[in-house]
Amino acid sequence: MVEDEQHQALAERFDGLRPHLQEVAYRMLGSDSDALDAVQESWLRLSSAGSVPLGDLRGWLTVVVGRTCLDLLCQRQARSGDSVGDRLPELLIDEDTVSDETATLADAVETALLVELETLTPVGRLAFVLREVFDVSVDEIAEIVSRSPGEVRQIACRATRQIRQHGPPTADADPQQHRSSC
């Protein structure tokens, strides 16, 4: 009975973290259905894991989702005929905000970023998304991709530079800040 209660408590904590995990996976994969699969895989790994650091469950699950996404991206890249840029990411539109110009612009910018992310290597994409979007530490990303923190810093810096080179300029962009960020 105690085991069932612990499993239920873990499931509730996981459900509370699901939106974060879904966002990480979607930004990595550009597909809502693939993101759902990655989040489900993280639940399967969590529920079957012998010991999980419950104090930092969010961090543990972010690592699991990141690794799952990395595996999926590598598989996607290895498949014949599915080269970088062959497919556009799915655009998730909230029916309640379709007429809102700000929401439409935000969706367009998000789609443009996802298209640009498709040009990065899987590791570059993971490093960029986790570092720039979710502020995950370089050390944590290094653990996910089995690389040194120095390598991850270089990969993330290159990815950031590539995104900024090809991305649309913003009105409030500070060139000095962009130069010093890497």
pLDDT at position 54 is 65
- Our CA angle for 100, 118, 68, nearest 5°, is 100
Q: Lowest mean pLDDT: which of 28-37, 68-77, 102-111, 128-137?
A: 102-111
Residue-wise pLDDT for 3-62, tens only, equals: 778 788 888 999 999 999 999 999 888 889 999 999 999 999 888 876 766 678 888 888
Q: How confident is the model at residue 152 (pLDDT cuts 50, 70, 90)?
A: very high
Query: Given a cut of 50, is residue 170 above it in pLDDT?
Result: no
Averaged over 98-108, what is the pLDDT?
57
Domains, the chain, with CATH or none: 1-87 (1.10.1740), 97-182 (1.10.10.10)
Q: What is the DSSP string of 37-77?
A: HHHHHHHHHHHH-S---GGGHHHHHHHHHHHHHHHHHHHHH
pLDDT confidence of residue 65 = 92
Question: Could you give the CA distance from residue 63 to residue 170 in angstroms, rounded to a whole number?
Answer: 31
pLDDT for 105? 55
> Is pLDDT of 103 > 50?
yes
Q: Would you place residue 177 in the very low, low, confident or very high pLDDT band (cuts 50, 70, 90)?
A: very low
